[in-house]
Structure 1
Amino acid sequence: MIKLEAINKSYQQGKSAVHILHDINLNISEGELVAIMGQSGSGKSTLINIIGFLDDQFEGNYFYNDLPIHDYKRSQFSKLRNSNVGFVFQNFKLINNLTVQENVGLPLLYAGEKRTNIKKRVTEVLQQVGLPGLEKELPKNLSGGQQQRVSIARAIITHPQFLIADEPTGALDSQTSAEIIALFKQLNKQRNTTIIMVTHDEKVCRQATRLIQILDGRIISDEKVV
């Protein structure tokens, strides 16, 4: 599904260029649960920005379902991102003055879906993530684990081809983290959703089916997790 060939990424700092990613070659198949692990500054966030169609300024080839994404214009990246990727963040990124229903339904609202259909779909995904009946609650009234489940519901409401989870358990205690990872595994198994997690947590990595380690902008290991 995702194929990266000799991906390089540099940033300009003053008169010099800083090389962030070095010749990244990576294949991710549909239905995989992948963990990407690396130190701060290793390039992992830059890598997932490219994978998630957030960054179109890179060298090399990116094929998504055999489509040559590296040849696409910025407007095409936006369309790809909106229809194919769901994002889950460490700090949840919920809008505090909107209800759970409004937060979860935002992607469908932006897509022009009818409000009656949005309401029905929100109810369905909240059931899937274990939050039935919380449509009218505000995020501030929820625990951290519940807020992360809301963000996951928002990420999957459009039936994305894959999820990118950036430190999804970073703000949670160990028990809640385990519950969120169990939810990811359930989505992966039951819906065959491809999930790419960025994490520092070795316990989280061991729950994936594949672990990719990155250091100084290079993939230093790529192995199946037993």
Structure 2
Amino acid sequence: MITLKNINKYYQQGNHRFHVLHDINIEIDQGELVAIIGESGSGKSTLINIIGFLDDDFEGTYFYQDQPIHDYTRKQFSTLRNRNVGFVFQNFKLLRESTVADNVALPLLYAGKRRKEISSRVSEVLKQVGLAGYENQLPKNMSGGQQQRVSIARAISTHPKFLIADEPTGALDTETSQEIMNLFKHLNKQEGTTIIMVTHDPHVAEQCERVIKIIDGRVVSDSKDGELHATD
């Protein structure tokens, strides 16, 4: 599904040019549950911004579903993102004064879906994440775990090809974190959802079938099914 070849990323600050990602080579297959781990400043968030079509300013080649997209325009990247990716964030990014239903419906509205279709899909995904009947609740009155479930429902509402979850359990306690991880694993195994998860929590990472470790902008290891593959 995703192939990154010799991806390099630079940031310009004044007269200084910082090399943030160094020759990243990664392939992610459809249906995988992948954790990307690394310390703060390691480059993992920069990497998922590229994977998720949020950042088009990089060097190297990116093939998505066998299509070369590295030379796409910013508008093409935006279209690709809207049609293919769902995002889940640490701080949920919900409209706290809008109902759960309205929050989940937002991507569907942007996609131009009809109101009847939206209502049906909202109910369907809320049931998937264990929040059936919560349509009229306000996020500000819900627990952190419930809010994260709402954000997951919003992310999957448009049937994205893959999810990017950026520290999705970072603001949650241990028990609630495990509930959210169980939900991700269910979506991955039962629904076939491809999930790419950034985390600094080893307990979260070890529940993924594959773990990619980044240090100082370089992939230093890639472990899958219990086997570690170190990179040069």
TM-score scaled to structure 2, two decimals? 0.97
How far apart are the structure 2 equivalents of 1:158 and 1:112? 11
Question: Superposition RMSD on alpha carbons, in Å?
Answer: 0.6
How far residue 224 of structure 1 moved from its aligned partner, in angstroms, is 1.0
For 1:74-93, list aligned pairs within 5 A. Answer: 74-93=74-93
Q: Provide the identity percentage.
A: 70
Q: Does 1:67 align with 2:51?
A: no
For 1:202-217, list aligned pairs within 5 A. Answer: 202-217=202-217
- Corresponding residue of 1:189: 189
How far residue 225 of structure 1 moved from its aligned partner, in angstroms, is 4.2
Give the conservation status (yes or no) of the 8 Å contact 1:206–1:225: no
1:84-132: per-residue Cα shift (whole Å, max 9, x none)?
0000000000001110000001000011111111011000000000001
Gaps of 5+ in 2: 227-232
- Corresponding residue of 2:24: 24
For 1:52-201, list aligned pairs within 5 A. Answer: 52-201=52-201
TM-score scaled to structure 1, two decimals? 0.99
Matching residue's letter, 1:15: N
How far residue 35 of structure 1 moved from its aligned partner, in angstroms, is 0.2
Matching residue's letter, 1:95: L
1:4-49: per-residue Cα shift (whole Å, max 9, x none)?
0000000001111000000000000000000000000000000000
How far apart are the structure 2 equivalents of 1:171 and 1:223? 26
- Corresponding residue of 2:14: 14
Gaps of 5+ in 1: none
How far apart are the structure 1 equivalents of 2:42 and 2:225? 21
SS of residue in 2 equivalent to 1:135:
coil
- Corresponding residue of 2:230: none
Aligned length in residues: 226
1:173-224: per-residue Cα shift (whole Å, max 9, x none)?
0000000000000000011111000001000001000000000000000011
Give the conservation status (yes or no) of the 8 Å contact 1:83–1:160: yes
How far apart are the structure 2 equivalents of 1:25 and 1:91? 29
How far apart are the structure 1 equivalents of 2:216 and 2:206? 22
- Corresponding residue of 1:221: 221
How far apart are the structure 2 equivalents of 1:115 and 1:82? 19
Matching residue's letter, 2:6: A
- Corresponding residue of 2:229: none
How far apart are the structure 2 equivalents of 1:211 and 1:5? 18
SS of residue in 1 equivalent to 2:70:
helix
SS of residue in 2 equivalent to 1:192:
coil
How far apart are the structure 2 equivalents of 1:39 and 1:165? 16
Matching residue's letter, 1:133: G
Give the conservation status (yes or no) of the 8 Å contact 1:211–1:225: no
How far residue 169 of structure 1 moved from its aligned partner, in angstroms, is 0.2
